[in-house]
Structure formats: structure tokens, C-alpha cells
Amino acid sequence: MTLVTDTEGRSAPRVAIVGATGAVGGTLIELIEERGLRYSALHLVASSRSAGRKLTVEGVEYEVQAIETFDFSQTDVAFFSAGTSVSEKWVPVATAAGALVIDNTIAYRMDPDTPLVVPQVNPHELDRRPKSGVIANPNCSTIPLVRLLRGVEDRWGIRHAVVSTYQAASGLGHTGVTELQESTQASLDGPESEFEPEHFKPGLAFNVIPKIDRFLDSGFTLEEQKMLQESRKILGMPHLDVTTTCVRVPVVNCHSEAVYIECHEPLDRAELVEVLGALPEVTVHDGADIRAFPTPATVGSSDQVHVGRVRITQSNPRAFWLWLVADNLRIGAALNAFQIAEELLDRGTL
């Protein structure tokens, strides 16, 4: 791969965002503007139905290109966030043309030739270009969880973890948010409303749904299995015991998780809070008021994993609970992908 250089003589990759008109793609564009990623060319790519749309990035107007006709040989790194079926079809085309792909779908996460990366946890995976030409971005609920598990494992060791997620409508992108808004209005309009939910069944308005993704023969859902398999791979702990119930809630953005962790050694709460608070880009809401806690409404758009309700169980000094909230479009998707690219540039891998 030959990279052109920017005005200061540094390597500056040619970047493509596939799924640029979606929720995660739009967040990637925001991050380019906020974090100052250097690039020599930027291509915004989507399906043919979105081709021709105009989007502005750093004051420059770009026309969205159709993936069906896009030439990936123009690209050094391609962010894919257009859905699993799109990645399965077009990522091989991109890698064959020489692009390094950072993929935000389930398509390649468990591929043994593809690293699954959270830069705060396993950045060593970015020391070399992967054999597959793909770096996988983990599930939106796995990312904040493993960032905390890493610190706990390093200090006390983990016997097992039990997690309940409370996942926002934006986990399904713009369509999920729109359906939540429309179904909420329909519910307020009364029982005579003829609104029929398409993506959340039963409807999500004033409701919680203990099912995300399809059911497996085990009775768990694919979302729940993802969190187990991905946590093991990212942490390099093939026997890690994580069991999960994933729930969709009527929140626009930010996923929350209630996490129970049993360790190998007894815990001191003050030290636990200190260890969690020292992790990169983690904010512990504790301090003077033990009753402080984060919520999706209070943390808003954020690049921090927010932690609260830290408490050691009364019956087992080796176990504790915590509550976490993280912006699923940023930390759970676009920001993690973006930080992968930043790390690659810093390491000279890209």
C-alpha cells in the first residue's frame, strides 16, 4: 500500500466511509471533524438509493457515491457501517483492491484471521496488517463492558460475570429511532391509532423487549451470544464465563448495563472505585455522593464510559455490582472504529 503525504510530509491515508448516510456513518463524519484525522482524500459511499446526496465534511461538500460502482483501489482504509449483508458482499471487494477495512458488523468478528479490537484493551493486535485485510469492530454493548473487565481481571481476576443490557433504539440506526418516535406518538394518540411496528415487535413505546437479534436453539439470542464470544476473544480469555440478557428499551441513544462480577480475590470498594476510575476514558460517578449515577439522559453524547452504583455484595466479598452507560453510536461503534484508525496511524501500520 502506498500512502500519499499531507502538507507536513506525514502519511495521510485515503479514507472511505461506507454507510455514510447512516447513523454510525454520520457519527464517523462528526469524529473526523472533531478529532482532526488527517487524510489525503475522503470518499462517502452508500447504497445506490442514497447515491447523489450531498454531505459536508469540514466545510467541503461531497457527493455520496454508490457502492455498486465505487473503485476501492482509490482507498487505503475503508470504514464499513452499512450492515452485515453489505459487508459480506463488498468487504472482499475492498480488500482485494488493497484497502484495509475496519468493519462494524458481525460479519468478520469471529474470523480467526481477523483481529477484534478495542484499542484500550488489546491494541497489540494492531502491530501488523491482518491476514484478512479486515479489523473487526465489536458489538456496541461488548465494547464498554470489556474496557471495565480488563482492569478488574488485571487486579483481582474474574470468575464470572452476569450482565443485563438496556439498549437504545439507535442500536438499529435511524430507522430504530424513527420507529420509537412514531410508535410513541401513536401510543399517545390512543388505541385507535393504526401504527404497526416493523422493527420492534411488540412495539417499543412505553415498553421493554427482552429480545435483541434472533433466538438461538440455546434459548439465548444472537446478541447475547455475541457478548460472550467477543469478550473472550478481545480479552484473550477463551474460558471467560459471561452470561447476558439483552433488552431493548424506549431510549433514543446510549446503552446501559447492569453488571455483576465475581472475582478470585476479596475486594475493597475504595480501591475498586480507584481502579475503575483510572481506566482510560472512564468516568466513575461516585465521589462525595455514593448515590450518584449516570443515565442516558444525563450523559448525553459522550466519549466516556460512565460508571455508577459500584457496590460490593453483602454476602460475598469477592463480588460486586456496577451500572454503566455508554453512547452506543460513539463508544459502541464509530469512536471505537475511529480510535482503531488513529492507533494504526500512530503505530505506522496504516
* Euclidean distance between CA atoms 322 and 256, whole angstroms: 11
Per 3-state DSSP, what percentage of the chain is helix, strand, and coil (rounded to 5)? 35, 25, 45
Which are the catalytic amino acids?
140, 255
Residue of 321, 293, 326 whose CA lies nearest to 308 = 293
Taking CB atoms within 8 Å and a gap of at least 24, the contacts of 217-220 are: 220/244
* Euclidean distance between CA atoms 149 and 146, whole angstroms: 5
In Å, how far are 49, 95, 204 from 250, measured between CA atoms?
29, 38, 6
**DSSP one-letter code for 136:** E
Please enumerate in sequence order all residues whose Cβ is within 8 A of that of 289, keeping only pairs 6 or more positions apart, or say none: none
Strand partners, 322: 259
* E runs forming strands in the chain: 14-18, 41-46, 54-57, 60-63, 65-66, 77-80, 100-103, 134-136, 158-167, 242-248, 255-263, 282-284, 305-312, 319-326
Three cell numbers, residue 212: 435483541
Length of the chain: 350
